[in-house]
Amino acid sequence: MSTQYVARKPDEHGFIAYPDVENQIWSELYARQAVNLPGRACQEYLDGLERLALPTDRIPQLGEVDKVLLETTGWQTAAVPALISFERFFELLASRRFPVATFIRTREEFDYLQEPDIFHEIFGHCPLLTNPAFANFSHTYGKLGLAATKEERVFLARLYWFTVEFGLLKSASGERRIYGGGILSSPGETLYAFGDTPQRKPFDLIDVLRTPYRIDIMQPVYFEIESIDFLDEIAGMDIMQSVARARQLGLHAPLFAPKAKAV
């Protein structure tokens, strides 16, 4: 996938000077999600957002985020270009470093962005990296991906997509909340995920691994876990054995038109 975006480079002190127009986009995205997320985002995410104390009027510096992540779960960020390889992605997660592309979306892609920008990575994912279960799952996933074959990684990508990126929680009492960063950082998808259009299914590892997705549309299906701590249970499953089984069974029929290549 090609990209129109170019990541901004830090100076010798690790500081990135973002122009005012980009700080303004961050400010508007933050303000909009500050309205959308109460009652929709999971409590663990909101707690992490409070811990990070992200600036609302400018794009944060990675060092500001690292200080909190290191203190809570031992993670830190890693500045990356707009797109990185699977190999690099897994290497970073396996070393407890979360990749952050140092660019922000244009106003034309305000509601939904196909590729991860700094708002998606910092606002969408980093608050939950203060949570031990989420951090442990991300670390386990990185180690598995690093050891996997190219074919296995395609199946592993679906697990990440339907949990870390587009996962929902549904408690035993029926309360639904968001923990996936792809939803939390998207003003459009935050509202869409609670509407009548998408399917919502209980998490089943084999089912998840067999479900195709597209990156350029609102998701037609979401998978729900009961609590964020269930990510620890998933991390303890024989994920690679499930990948082998999913490969044997083959993919489910996609729930979307074949406009773009399914992965």
Looking at the annotation, which residues are catalytic? Answer: 120, 125, 165, 185
**C-beta separation of 256 from 217 below 8 A:** yes
Write the DSSP symbol of residue 163.
Answer: I
Output the CA torsion 144→250→83→257 (10° steps): -150
Q: Report the largest interatomic distance among the alpha carbons of the chain, rounded to a whole angstrom.
A: 52
In this structure, what are the phi and psi dihedrals at residue 113, rounded to the nearest 5 degrees?
Answer: -125, 130
CA distance 96 to 139: 6
Residue in 251, 189, 248 with CA at minimum distance from that of residue 222: 189
CA distance 4 to 143: 30
In this structure, what are the phi and psi dihedrals at residue 139, rounded to the nearest 5 degrees?
Answer: -65, -45
CA distance 40 to 184: 9
**C-beta separation of 30 from 54 below 8 A:** yes
